[in-house]
């Protein structure tokens, strides 16, 4: 790697104009450039005239040694000629070409080369990139001669060091609340719980998960389950470490028969509500979480959504498209880690009393039974089972009947499973 600095280097030069410096050998009491540099090195050097009225500071010029003498190309950083190459005259001779101390180098050594961009003096090694990735967070990088490799982030407000996520390694932060901008594989020691978490990507989502969720030998795992069949508020157990929520949307209502006809109508049924699972850590559910249970849809209507705050949304079942066509599964608007789409409703049928019996379709999931002509008491579609998310059954009617109503969908539900601290 090209060398930049050296001590006690001074050679005179009789160079004219703005060309390459031809060196004359070491001055008395000093060393020649060849004593510290080889061909291809890039010395940081200064040139001054004999009257000490003109100067050039060069950085990045190349030294060449051949035939017992050396030369230096120019790459002017500062000069008495408005930072351009100085046009040397005979009256300036002899020129003094030497390696000085560098204020930039001294400053960099003091402040760790803290700067928004890497200083050109750095050929290899460590430097701090200022305000990366955000103001108040500086990034220690390693320059390998070609690219900068991120290493450690330093937060000047919290005085915390964390390994950069690109390294794939783990770093640890101890605090009562999770780090605002965690890196992959970062560890967080929750000082309120005395519990360790890791910022983990499971392939679908990234979240805090317990680093050591298994109880110590002899300590049985403690689990607490809470079920909601109606709206309410979830308050985590004081010993809750982490857990998961399962939500079920309300089922859609079955189709109705609106008018009498010479035909026999068996209508389509409502779809089942979706099931969504969401994992959480204690910090996600503090202090409480609002719970909304999706209502079963009325005849021809969609089921209601089940929600666990903003962490989970399980969409209700799809309403019928028309009396013979059930709606497709609702794939948009669900929020969670795992989504199981509800069973779609059944398809309606059409026939004539002289050739066949017709019946409405069963609701999706734990849905209501269909209406049927085998007994007049079953012409109305049955309702879905409460707190099952099942769809309502489709109605059935003949020319002798008036409007027949489809079944109402079953309401949804939500369960919370908490993993608790082992008993001491």
Query: Cis link prior to 59 (omega < 30° from 0)?
Result: no
Looking at the fold, whether 263 and 125 belong to one and the same domain comes out as no
Looking at the structure, tell me whether residues 366 and 253 fall in a common domain.
Answer: yes
Q: If phi over 0 gives left and psi between -120 and 50 gives alpha, with beta otherwise, what is residue 129?
A: beta
Q: Kindly report, residue by residue over 102-157, the tens digit of the pLDDT.
A: 666 666 666 777 788 887 767 677 877 887 777 778 877 888 878 888 777 778 78
1 part of a folded domain: no
Supply 124's token pair.
């290899």
Looking at residue 204, its pLDDT comes to 75
Count of domains for the chain: 3
Q: Tell me the backbone φ, ψ of residue 416, rounded to 5 degrees.
A: -120, 125
23: in domain = yes
Give yes or no: residues 302 and 399 share one domain.
Answer: yes
Instruction: State which of 101, 119, 146 marks the end of a domain.
Output: 101
pLDDT (0 to 100) of residue 412: 93
Residue 390 DSSP label: P
Question: What residue numbers bound the domain in which 84 lies?
Answer: 10-101
Does residue 3 lie in a domain region? no
**Same domain assignment for residues 327 and 276:** yes
Instruction: Give the 3-state secondary structure of residue 36.
Output: coil
- pLDDT of res. 143: 81
Residue ending a domain, choose from 67, 101, 135:
101
Confidence at residue 4, expressed as pLDDT on a 0 to 100 scale = 72
Q: How far apart are CA 312 and CA 289, in angstroms?
A: 11
Quick one: 72 and 91 in the same domain?
A: yes
Q: What is the pLDDT of residue 356?
A: 32
Last residue of a domain, one of 53, 83, 101: 101
Can you tell me which residue has the tokens 């030998």?
217
Same domain, 37 and 112: no
Mapping DSSP to helix (H, G, I), strand (E, B) and coil, where does residue 250 land?
coil
CA distance 357 to 365: 24
Alpha-carbon dihedral 106, 111, 116, 122, rounded to 10 degrees: 40
263 and 371 both lie in a single domain: yes
What integer pLDDT is reported at residue 129 of this predicted model? 82
**Do residues 93 and 112 both lie within one domain?**
no
In this predicted structure, what is the pLDDT of residue 293?
97
Alpha-carbon distance of 396 to 370, in angstroms, equals 8
Residue 80 contacts residue 55 (beta carbons within 8 Å): yes
Question: Do the strands 187-190 and 172-175 form a parallel or antiparallel pair, or are they unpaired?
Answer: parallel
24 and 161 together in one domain: no
The owner of tokens 């061909």 is 39
**Do residues 343 and 335 make contact, with C-beta atoms less than 8 angstroms apart?**
no
pTM of structure: 0.50
The per-residue pLDDT for 34 is: 92
Is the residue at 398 inside a domain?
A: yes
Q: Which two tokens stand for residue 18?
A: 């703005």
- Are residues 223 and 157 part of one domain? no
pLDDT at 358: 35
Q: Which residues of the chain have pLDDT under 50?
A: 352-378
Classify residue 2: in a domain, yes or no: no
The reply to whether 197 and 310 lie within a common domain is no
Give the DSSP H/E element, type plus range, for residue 176: none
Q: Both 120 and 52 in a single domain? A: no
Q: Is 161 part of a structural domain of the chain?
A: yes
């Amino acid at each position: 790697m090209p060398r930049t600095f050296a001590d006690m280097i001074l050679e005179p030069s009789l160079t004219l104009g703005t060309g390459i410096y031809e060196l004359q050998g070491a001055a008395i009491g000093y060393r020649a450039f060849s004593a510290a540099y080889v061909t291809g090195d890039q010395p940081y050097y200064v040139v001054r005239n004999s009257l000490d009225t003109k100067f050039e500071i060069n950085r990045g010029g190349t030294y060449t040694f051949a035939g017992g003498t050396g030369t230096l190309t120019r790459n002017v950083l500062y000069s008495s000629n408005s930072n351009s190459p100085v046009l040397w005259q005979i009256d300036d001779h002899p020129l003094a070409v030497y390696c000085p101390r560098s204020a930039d180098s001294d400053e960099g050594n003091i402040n760790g080369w803290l700067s928004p961009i890497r200083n050109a003096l750095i050929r290899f090694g460590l430097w701090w990139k200022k305000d990366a990735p955000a103001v108040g967070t500086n990034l220690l990088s390693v320059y390998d001669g070609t690219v900068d490799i991120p290493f450690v982030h330093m937060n000047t407000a919290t005085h915390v060091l964390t390994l950069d996520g690109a390294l794939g390694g783990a770093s640890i932060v101890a605090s009562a609340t999770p780090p605002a901008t965690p890196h992959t594989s970062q560890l967080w020691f929750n000082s309120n719980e005395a519990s360790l978490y890791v910022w983990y990507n499971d392939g679908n989502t990234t979240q805090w998960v317990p680093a050591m969720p298994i109880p110590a030998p002899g300590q049985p795992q403690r689990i607490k389950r809470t079920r909601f069949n109606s709206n309410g508020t979830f308050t985590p157990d004081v010993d809750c470490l982490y857990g998961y929520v399962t939500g079920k949307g309300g089922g859609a209502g079955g189709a109705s028969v609106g008018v009498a006809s010479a035909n026999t109508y068996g209508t389509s049924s409502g779809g089942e509500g979706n099931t969504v699972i969401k994992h959480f850590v204690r910090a996600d559910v503090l202090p409480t979480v609002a719970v909304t249970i999706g209502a079963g849809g009325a005849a021809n209507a969609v089921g209601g959504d089940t929600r666990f705050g903003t962490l989970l949304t399980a969409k209700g079942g799809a309403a019928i498209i028309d009396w013979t066509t059930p709606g497709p599964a609702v794939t948009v608007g669900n929020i969670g880690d795992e989504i199981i789409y509800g069973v779609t409703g059944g398809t309606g049928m059409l026939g004539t009393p002289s050739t066949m019996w017709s019946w409405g379709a069963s609701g999706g999931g734990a849905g209501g039974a269909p209406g049927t002509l085998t007994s007049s008491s079953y012409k109305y579609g049955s309702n879905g089972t409460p707190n099952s998310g099942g769809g309502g059954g489709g109605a059935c009617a003949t020319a002798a009947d008036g409007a027949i109503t489809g079944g109402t969908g079953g309401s949804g539900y939500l369960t919370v499973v908490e993993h608790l601290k082992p008993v001491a």
